[in-house]
Amino acid sequence: MSENISISTLSGDGDFKAYVARPADEPKAAIVVIQEIFGVNAGIRRKCDKLAEQGYLAVAPDLFWRMQPGIELDPDIEPEMQEALDWMGKFDQDEGVRDIEATIKWAREETGGKKVGAVGYCLGGRLAYMTAARTDSDATVGYYAVGVDELLREKDAIANPLILHIPTEDGFVDKETQKKMHEGLDSHPKVTLYDYEGMDHGFATEFGQRRNEENADLADKRTAEFFEKHLGGK
């Protein structure tokens, strides 16, 4: 079952929409799904639906709501890709993480205090790293996170497990940045980095030209096992 709900900001100065997918039975835990630069589109909603099929309460907040609520874009349509990049440039990431924190708080209350994790893609992968460092997310996953090298100073604040899935041919994350990520995080006791040789940005998207079935399945399998282990699954 899925629905759209409203969540209050941490400061109580506004409300934002979120897509929620509920499992058929009592959820074993909750997972916040963090959008790409394309908004809470069909691909992000499908990520939520698949997590609900695995027994989780899944919720994807509309993080662009302060700029324009309800943005949904398609990366395979060039003008929409450019529009998405424009939105990313205007987006306040610190505010976004606070909205993710508000969503974690909502999910924890909604499940009666069960564990809450987070998973993000693209911009959401970067926000997932920030979420691991700045919130009480119980377990966090980032796919093709951008600009993590700029955030390595926050790594000591990561107290709960984090996975980062890194495509080695990411057009938005060059080899030098990948090297800095490994140098900065390989020794961190809570962080695991997985490289995907020859893969480009967006390889685990649900729909469209960017998807690579084999590597998407591998990354998603690792993510599923990680959440089972750390969010109290059977």
The reported pLDDT for the residue numbered 129 is 98
Mean pLDDT of 10-22: 97
Residue 183 has pLDDT above 80, yes or no: yes
Catalytic member of 99, 138, 170, 220: 170
Express each pLDDT in 116-141 by its tens digit. 999 999 999 999 999 999 999 999 99
Tell me which of 99, 138, 201, 230 is the catalytic residue. Answer: 201
The pLDDT, as a whole number, for residue 189 is 98
**Quick one: the chain helix, strand, coil %, rounded to 5?**
40, 20, 40
Residue 74 appears among annotated catalytic residues = no
Q: What is the pLDDT of residue 94?
A: 98
pLDDT at 233 over 70: no
Mean residue pLDDT of the chain comes to: 97
E strands along 88-133, which residues?
116-121
- Going from N- to C-terminal start, the domains of the chain cover 2-230
* Catalytic site includes residue 149: no
What is the pLDDT, as a whole number, of residue 82? 96
Band (pLDDT 50/70/90 cuts) for residue 234 is: very low
Q: What is the pLDDT of residues 149-166, one digit of tens each?
A: 999 999 999 999 999 999
CATH number for region 2-230 = 3.40.50.1820
Q: Please provide the distance, in angstroms rounded to a whole number, between the alpha carbons at the two ends of the chain.
A: 22
CA 129/CA 120 separation, integer angstroms: 9
